[in-house]
Structure 1
Amino acid sequence: MSFSKWIGGALGWSFGGPIGAIIGVALGSIIDAMSNGNGDKFLGEGKRTKRTSYNTTQRPRTQSGDFEVSLLVLASIVIKADGKQDQRELDYVRQQFATMYGKERANHAFLLFKGISKQKVSKRQVCLQIKQMMDHASRLQLIHFLFGIAKADGIVTQDEEHEIHIMAGYLGINVRDYESIKAMFYNSSDNSYKVLEIEKGASVDEIKRAYRKMAKKYHPDRVIHLGEEHQKGAEEKFRQVQEAYEHLQKELKFN
C-alpha cells in the first residue's frame, strides 16, 4: 500500500475543518520531501472518500481513518505537554499503531505524525470538530489512548494530565467518565470505585449496578464501526472495568 493510496482511501470527515487544515500542511511537507523521489501522486490513488462538511448538523459515521488521524493530532499535543518529546512516548504511539494497523500502515501514520507534530495545534478547534463528528464511545477511546501515551514513560505528569483534562472537556467527556478512565492509569486504593464511577462505601447492589452500566458503556462492540483494530483497544478498558469489579468482590466478599 503506497502512502497516497492510504491517504486517498482511509479518511472521511477529518479532511474538513481544523483537522483538515493540519493534515494539509503536513501533507504539503511530505509532498515536498518526496517530490525529489519517485514522483508518487498523493491522493491520486485508492478509493476516494467523499468529504463531509464540518458544519453539517448530522453526525457522519466515523471511519477508522478519521479516528486514526484524530489520535495523531491529539497525541502530538500530549507528547509535547511537558516541553519535550520523550522517545518512550513516541515508541508507544508507534507500537500501538503497529499493533492496531500493521507495520506498513503505522509507518504511513508516523510519516504524517512528523508533519503534524511540527505545527501549533489549537486544542479547542480540533476537539470541537471531533466532538461534533465522532460518537461518544469513540471519544472515550481517544481519552484512554492519550492516557496510555502519557503513561508510556512510567508516569503521567501533571502537565500531561492537564492537557488531557482540557481536551476531554472540549470533547464533551463528563467528569465521571473522565475520572473513570484516568483512574485506570493511577495506583490508588480508591481506583476501583473511580473506574466504576461510584463513591467509596457504595453498597453491594450499587456496585453491581455500576458494573453492569460500565460494562455496557465500555463494551468493545460500542466501537465496532471503527474496525477490529479499535475493538482490541477497547477491550483494554473493558478488562479494567472487570478487574475493578473483581477487586471489590474480593475486598467486600460478595459474589
Structure 2
Amino acid sequence: MIKWVAAFLGYFLFRFPGAVLGFIVGTFLDNFGGSGNKASSVFQDYTRQSVSPADFELNLLSLCSIIIKADGQVNQRELDYVRQYFLSTYGKEKANAIFRTFNEVIKKREVSAQRICAFMEQRTRYEVRLQLLHFLFGIAQSDGQVSKAEVEKLIEIAGYLRVGRNDFESIKAMFIEAADNAYKILEINKNATDDEVKKAYRTMAKKYHPDRVVTENEAIRKGAEEKFKEVQKAYETIQKERGIS
C-alpha cells in the first residue's frame, strides 16, 4: 500500500522518474514495516517484534525449568506434566526433539527469568503473556499444590512480563483454592451488583477468548482455551449462587 502512495507522490513532484523512485522506496517500507521475514510469520499476528518459533519454544522451556526448580527440587510429576503437554500438542516426534533441548535447559544451574521475560515482553502481545503465565501455573499445580516458593517465582515472572496485578490474581484463583475464587477470576468484588457481574463476564470472555491469542504454538493456544473455560465456569458459579438468569 505504501509503495503506491509513494509512487503517486513521486509522480506528482517529479513525474515518471519520481514515480519509479517512490515505488522503490515504498516497496522497501512495506517490507520493513510488515512481516516479510518467514521465520517470524508464524507469530506475525501477535508479536510486536520478530521472534522465531525456535526462540519462542526455547524461552518457553526455560520458563518451565525455572518453575520446576523454584522450590529447590525437580519434581517428576511436574516434568511429566510438561512432557505430556508437549506430547499432546506437538506429537511424539517434535515433542521428543523439544525435550532433548529441555533436558539441557533443566540441567543448567542458572537461567535468568528477567532476561527471558524481557525478551518475551518485547516481542509478544499481552494476551499471549497471560497464557504463558497460565501455563506456568499449571506446571506448578501439577504435583497437587502450588508452593509458596513457586508463587513467589510466578509473581516475579509476572512482574517481568508486565502482567497486571488483577490479571495475575485472576489466573492464580484458577489454580489455588480460596474464598470467592469465582469473583477473583472475573476480577470483581463479592459485593458487585448483578449488572456488574454480567459486565465483568462479558469483558473477561472477550479478553480471554482463544481467538484473541493468534498463534500456531499449540501449548499457548490450549492454555487460552482452558482459561476461557475457567472464566465461563466462574460466571456460571456466580449465576447459580445468585440466581442470575
Bin the TM-score by the shorter chain. Answer: 0.7 to 0.9
1:192 positional shift? 0.3
| Partner residue in 2 for 1:96 | 85
Q: Which moved more, 1:243-252 or 1:218-227?
A: 218-227
Q: Which runs of 5+ in 1 are unaligned?
A: 1-47, 53-57
Tell me: CA distance 1:203–1:197, structure 2 relative to 1, closer, same or farther (3 Å): same
TM-score after normalising by structure 2: 0.78
1:109 positional shift? 1.0
Distance 2:140 2:218 in 1: 24
1:134 positional shift? 1.1
Q: Do the aligned partners of 1:183 and 1:195 also contact (CA within 8 Å) in 2?
A: yes
1:65 positional shift? 4.1
More helix by share: 2
* Selected match of 2:196 from 206, 209, 212: 206
| Partner residue in 1 for 2:62 | 73
| Partner residue in 2 for 1:221 | 211
1:175 paired with 2:165, answer: yes
Amino-acid identity (%):
52
1:207 positional shift? 0.6
RMSD over aligned CA atoms reads: 2.0
Distance 1:82 1:227 in 2: 28
1:225 positional shift? 2.7
Distance 1:51 1:189 in 2: 43
Partner amino acid for 1:195?
Answer: I
TM-score after normalising by structure 1: 0.75
1:231 positional shift? 2.5
Partner amino acid for 1:75?
Answer: C
Tell me the alpha carbon deviations over residues 113-154 of structure 1, each in whole angstroms, 9 at most, x when there is no partner: 111112211111111111011111110110000000000100
1:107 paired with 2:96, answer: yes
| Partner residue in 1 for 2:221 | 231
Q: Do the aligned partners of 2:40 and 2:52 also contact (CA within 8 Å) in 1?
A: no
1:193 paired with 2:174, answer: no
Tell me: CA distance 1:210–1:135, structure 2 relative to 1, closer, same or farther (3 Å): same
Distance 1:250 1:124 in 2: 42
Q: Which runs of 5+ in 2 are unaligned?
A: 1-36, 42-46
Q: Do the aligned partners of 1:62 and 1:225 also contact (CA within 8 Å) in 2?
A: no
1:125 paired with 2:118, answer: no
| Partner residue in 2 for 1:158 | 148
Partner amino acid for 1:254?
Answer: I
Partner amino acid for 1:137?
Answer: E
Alignment partner of 2:214: what SS?
helix
| Partner residue in 2 for 1:26 | none
Partner amino acid for 1:167?
Answer: I
- Structure with bigger gyration radius: 2
Alignment partner of 1:226: what SS?
coil
1:245 positional shift? 0.1
| Partner residue in 2 for 1:30 | none
Q: Do the aligned partners of 1:63 and 1:225 also contact (CA within 8 Å) in 2?
A: no
Q: Which moved more, 1:63-72 or 1:157-166?
A: 63-72
Distance 2:52 2:131 in 1: 14
Distance 2:211 2:227 in 1: 12
1:62 positional shift? 5.1
Any residues of structure 2 matched to 1:1-40 within 5 Å, and which? none
Distance 1:65 1:247 in 2: 40
* Selected match of 2:125 from 125, 135, 152: 135
Tell me: CA distance 1:106–1:194, structure 2 relative to 1, closer, same or farther (3 Å): same
Distance 1:241 1:117 in 2: 33
Q: Do the aligned partners of 1:63 and 1:226 also contact (CA within 8 Å) in 2?
A: no
Tell me: CA distance 1:51–1:223, structure 2 relative to 1, closer, same or farther (3 Å): closer
